[in-house]
Amino acid sequence: MNPDNTNIRIALPSKGRLSSEALDLFSNAGMPIFKPNPRQYQATIPNLPEVNVIFQRAGDIVTSVRDGSVEFGITGWDIYSEKMTKNGDLLVLLRDLRFGSCTLNVIVPEKWQNIQTVDDLANWQKSIGRPIRVATKFPVLTEKFFKKNNITNLIMIASEGTLEIAPTIGYADVIVDLISSGTTLRDNRLKALQDGLILHSQACLLGNRQTLKNDPNVLGTARRLIEFIVAHLRAVDNVSIFANIRGDSPERIADRMLAKSVIGGLQGPTISPILNQDSSNWYAVHLIVRKDQLSNAIREIREVGGSGVVVSPVMYIFEEEPAAFQELLSFLEV
């Protein structure tokens, strides 16, 4: 347990795309991180004064959270999956933070025209009469995948550096690595096997089971983190619409709107009278719709007599209680 309840720690990646996007997430979720010196490995969150931010390598964050060195951490699902075999006190609080998307794949030289699938690779291994040499930073996931596909004659080559060059210089036959855009593969004349996908990955929020269970301050911080991050992520996909609609009553207007497929809102539209000098029956309508439904929403608003449509971004959509936090309480039996 953290002996100092005013210094709850969360570890964030110290470099790379995960680092910058984690900082963006906290900023957009209303919890901007204050780091006056970019070389510092600690920072604060003014809106969460009890929290101290620690910057670590993404691969070390899983271990730090599991061992209780920090109470919370953000890292990639790929790293969590690789190191969770002895997960101990490691809990996943939010599975998908919507950044850091990539896939872990089996990758072979592009010139191997006859090897397109895992079965092709297995047949090639039998023909050469020796183990397949696999360079990867994910030996646990790699061995599990190959075993599932009945390939066990392997030599695993651990590597912390650039993997793409391994087949070219000959110290590995294939590699298992992360793919985001695929540009690096094409530049190095490599290709992913058609059925060689091992997992989809993105950033996730982790927590330490013991401190969450035993320290009410840590649990309270978990609630705030989950609530604001979830509220922000829910809002990202939505827009707020205001429109004016003429009608006999709010109930009549609501009936017309609820008969449509899009403009019913989250729980129904909010309808208020417009007070004007000519006493005409105009009402102001407010509703939330998904961004990808905006075009249909505007069409439906016009079909029910709406005009003066104003569209604004949504910053947060708060639930009564985030489902992720309820699941955490249930798991901890708090």
Give the tens place of pLDDT for each residue, 35-59.
888 778 999 999 999 999 999 999 9
Q: With pLDDT > 90 as the criterion, what percentage of the chain qualifies?
A: 79
Classified as helix, coil or strand, 311 is strand
pLDDT of residue 191: 96
- Same domain for 37 and 154, yes or no, is no
Confidence at 213, pLDDT banded by 50, 70, 90: very high
CATH number, position 13 = 3.40.190.10
pLDDT at 303 over 50: yes
Same domain as 12, residue 87 = yes
Q: Which domain holds residue 129?
A: 102-200
Q: Is residue 323 in a domain?
A: no
Q: Is residue 324 part of a domain?
A: no
Place of tokens 């009402």: 283
pTM of the model: 0.88
C-alpha dihedral sign at 223, 94, 23, 212: positive
What is the pLDDT at residue 5?
47
Residues 62 and 126 in one domain: no
In this structure, the answer to whether residues 181 and 295 fall within a common structural domain is no
- Parallel/antiparallel/unpaired status of strands 238-246 and 270-273: unpaired
Which CATH number do you get for residue 266?
3.30.70.120
Please tell me whether residues 126 and 166 are part of one structural domain. Answer: yes
Query: 29 with 89, same domain?
Result: yes
Model pLDDT, residue 2: 46
DSSP states of 79-97: HHHHHGGG-TTEEEEES--
CA 220 distance to own-chain centroid: 22
Arithmetic mean of pLDDT over the chain: 92
The verdict on residue 288 lying in a domain is yes
Do 251 and 292 sit in the same domain of this protein? Answer: yes
**Residue 274 vs residue 229, higher pLDDT:** 229
Task: Count how many domains the chain has.
Answer: 3
Sheet of 203-208, strand order: 42-44, 51-56, 8-13, 72-76, 203-208, 90-94
Residues 96 and 34 in one domain: yes
Token duo for residue 175: 């590699």
